[in-house]
A and B are shown apart, each in its own frame.
Chain A
Amino acid sequence: MAPTSTMKDSPPARDPASGSAVRTDEAIERDFELSDLVHLEEMFQEEGREEGIAEGLRAGRPEGFTLGLEKGHEMLTEVAYYQSCAETWLAHVQRTSIASPESNEFGDDDDEAARPSRSRSFPPRSRTTLEVFLTLTRSFPRHNALDTGLIELLDRIRGRWKLVCAVLGVPLAAAAYAHGAAFTPVRSRSTDAAVAVEKPLSQSLAF
């Protein structure tokens, strides 16, 4: 250590009678002060560290709880949103398929005739797409499973959600969750939103 090497640099004083080396009071005092100081620094640091560990142990759990609460709530709200949308649409597809077995169109033929501009069909792939998507959302853990890669899984779900919307012909802007989009008012079917859904699938994909 630097202080020790500094001490060695000064030549030792010699006893005039015996000729043997003696250490001056000053050197002894300095040696004592420096070595003791190093020890004291460590002692104070250790003392502070012990206090810090006790405080950290106490504060860590509630701090982690608050973070986990926010994160768990945020992630599961989004996943449950996608899942429930998909479940609702799948139920609708199944219901309308039973109502008109020859096609899986929304509404009945009378309505189609009465409002031809609103004619709208889910493509044949809708049911399978929704079912595959639901398998994915249901695999999302409800607890913090570090080994499953929650963030990556949520990213996959978001990506697949775009595909679901494209296949079903639902405008992504109307069905998105991010940035509060899920809470924006849904416009009347007589407005542009209703027209947007009638775009061909190829156009719907361009978001």
Chain B
Amino acid sequence: MDSDWASDVNDDDWQRQVSEREWQRLQDDHKKAGYREGVIEGKDQTMQAGFNDGFAAGSAIGLRVGQLVGRLRAQLLILSLTPTRTSETEADQLLDEGNALLSEASTVLRDLAHVYSTDRVRAMYDASMAPTASTESIVAASKLLDPASGSVAALRGKVEAWLHQFA
């Protein structure tokens, strides 16, 4: 009798455990499926606004870097491909200085790309977001990138000084 009683209890326990597991699995599976759909649906509603803000902020810095690199390279090519009043030695020295600035610009760009991809920029932007203010959000986002664009300002000073020699 004892063993039958124990067996009944064990069967009940086992069945309850199985039921609970099944219940939990049913709940988890369907919640997960719904969650996945919901995340996509939610992102669809806000991602474009964030992209637009980011595009404006990124283009403002890109414009500054691109202008520097363009002016620098165009002048280097003029120096390299055309006759000027400078001697070969002077021209070579100017080319060396200009090429060093190009290399520096390349590093600045690489560093900027690294900054953009950090969670810090994303988190700062996220925290600064006003629910509806889009113009303010762009300004806020641009301010976030000021530390990153400090290197662009430093490069600009050097490039301007180099270009000044041709003015």
Complex-state Cα separation, A197 to B83, whole angstroms: 12
Summed over the interface, the residue pairs from A and B with CB atoms below 8 Å come to a total of 317
Interface of B is mostly: helix
Q: Are B63 and A142 in contact (CB under 8 A)?
A: yes
Q: Does A77 contact B (CB under 8 A)?
A: yes
Q: Sort chain B's interface into a size bin.
A: 35 or more
How far apart are the CA atoms of A140 and B103 in the complex, in Å? 27
B122 with A63: CB separation less than 8 A: yes
Residue in A51, A76, A89 whose beta carbon sits within 8 Å of that of B35 in the complex: A51
Which of B36, B44, B80, B85 is close to A186, meaning CB atoms less than 8 Å apart?
Answer: B80
**Is the CB–CB distance between B78 and A66 below 8 Å?**
no
Give, as a whole number of angstroms, the nearest-CB distance from A96 to chain B: 9
Q: Taking A68-B52, A85-B74 as contacts, is the C-beta distance between A194 and B66 under 8 angstroms?
A: no
B117 touches which of A58, A70, A182 (Cβ 8 Å): A70
B103 to chain A, nearest CB (A): 7
Q: Which residues of A contact B70 (CB under 8 A)?
A: 80-85, 87-88, 182
Interchain CB contact (< 8 A) of A182 among B67, B73, B80, B92 = B73
Which residues does chain B contribute within 8 Å of A57, judged by CB atoms? Answer: 42-43, 45-46
- Is A119 among interface residues, defined by CB-CB distance under 8 A? yes
- Mask, B46-83, CB within 8 Å of A = 1, is 11111111111111111111111111011111111111
9 contacts between A and B (CB under 8 A): A48-B31, A57-B46, A63-B47, A65-B50, A85-B73, A92-B78, A107-B82, A182-B69, A184-B102
Which residues of A are in contact with B by a Cβ distance under 8 Å? 37, 40-42, 44-89, 92, 106-108, 111-112, 114-115, 118-120, 142-144, 170, 174-175, 180, 182-190, 193-194, 197
State the 4 A-B residue pairs at the shortest beta-carbon distance, nearest first: A56-B42, A52-B38, A68-B54, A80-B66
